[in-house]
């Protein structure tokens, strides 16, 4: 029977700006007697990528623009955080203003990479007080770099998915989604395959990288320090493609 195994990689230390994640992960893999194969996939929380890449910003270093001040007042947020949200975004998609108690506000934007999410993916939890953590500038490149570093050190290039936690319209609760990949196809195109009755399947395009990201959430607790989930045993074919495959063309989107 088709089987797959997921493991939360232990012994990952607190990541600092400038750390080489390839070194750290290779060491942890060895310490835990893991053997990479070409079908191994590592799903990695954005947070440690951003930390290693120095994407932390000190609030006191940020000067809010007039536009940020205005939006901050409506949403009862720190104007400096709103400034960074605007800088990281191509467009504001939706805003809900704060209630009378200054709560419940939401700013949803489209980031430069095309992701639609709250606060341009900027994070404050699990961070030193007074700091913001931005998404990686190019998470595909981050994933590719990591895959290459692991190949150099261990002789095998695994698939890599970088993930962040987004909310969804219509559904409560959060799931992880893919924001960068190396080797792992964002979408697996099953068009042309036949169903169990021999008819051609018309539109069946599993978002493979998002399935992996969501699955990683089963072991990647927010409060734990398990930012790396290893998938073994999956049947997949490497294909280098950009994460833009998962970003819906705005002209085709009914909810833009």
Question: 200-229: which residues touch a copy of itself (CB under 8 A)?
Answer: 201-202, 204-208, 210-212, 214-215, 217-219, 221-223, 225-226
Minimum distance from CB of 230 to a copy of itself (Å)? 9
- Who contacts 81 (Cβ-Cβ below 8 Å, separation ≥6)? 59, 62, 72, 119, 122, 124, 132
Rule CB under 8 A: say whether 126 interacts with a copy of itself. Answer: yes
CB-based burial label for 143 (10 Å; 0-12, 13-18, 19+): buried
Q: What part of residues 8-27 is at the interface with a copy of itself (CB under 8 A)?
A: 8-10, 14
Minimum distance from CB of 152 to a copy of itself (Å)? 25
Kindly list the distances between the CA atom of residue 2 and the CA atoms of 61, 197, 218, in Å, as whole numbers in the listed order: 52, 22, 19
Quote the strand ranges of 55-158, DSSP E: 56-58, 89-96, 106-111, 116-118, 131-133
Residues 22 and 149: beta-carbon distance below 8 Å: yes
Q: What part of residues 142-171 is at the interface with a copy of itself (CB under 8 A)?
A: 168-171
Edge-to-edge strand list for the sheet holding 106-111: 89-96, 106-111, 116-118
For a copy of itself, give the closer residue by CB, 44 or 212. Answer: 212
For a copy of itself, give the closer residue by CB, 155 or 173. Answer: 173
Site string for a copy of itself, 91-120 (x = CB under 8 A): ---x-x---------x-x------xx----
Of 82, 120, 177, 184, the one binding a copy of itself by CB under 8 A: 177
Minimum distance from CB of 63 to a copy of itself (Å)? 26
Q: Nearest 5°: phi and psi at 94? A: -150, 150
């Amino acid at each position: 029977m088709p089987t797959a195994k997921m493991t939360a990689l232990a012994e990952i230390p607190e990541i600092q700006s400038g750390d080489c994640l390839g070194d750290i992960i290779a060491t942890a893999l060895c310490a835990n007697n893991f053997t990479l194969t070409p079908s191994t996939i590592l799903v990695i929380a954005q947070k440690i990528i951003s930390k290693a890449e120095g994407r932390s910003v000190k609030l006191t270093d940020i000067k809010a623009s007039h536009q940020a001040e205005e939006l901050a007042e409506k949403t009862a947020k720190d104007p400096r955080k709103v400034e960074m949200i605007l800088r990281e975004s191509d467009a504001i998609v939706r805003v809900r203003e704060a209630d009378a108690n200054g709560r419940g506000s939401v700013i949803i934007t489209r980031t430069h990479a095309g992701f639609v999410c709250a606060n341009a993916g900027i994070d404050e939890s699990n961070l030193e007080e007074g700091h913001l953590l931005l998404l990686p500038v190019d998470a595909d490149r981050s994933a590719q770099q990591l895959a290459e570093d692991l190949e150099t050190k261990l002789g095998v290039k695994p698939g890599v998915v970088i993930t962040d936690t987004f909310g969804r319209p219509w559904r409560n609760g959060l799931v992880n989604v893919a924001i960068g990949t190396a080797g792992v196809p964002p979408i697996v195109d099953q068009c042309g395959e036949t169903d169990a009755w021999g008819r051609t399947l018309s539109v069946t395009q599993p978002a493979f990288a998002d399935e992996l990201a969501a699955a990683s959430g089963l072991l990647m607790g927010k409060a734990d320090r398990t930012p790396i989930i290893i998938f073994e045993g999956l049947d997949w074919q490497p294909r280098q493609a950009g994460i833009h495959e998962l970003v819906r063309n705005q002209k085709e989107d009914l909810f833009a």
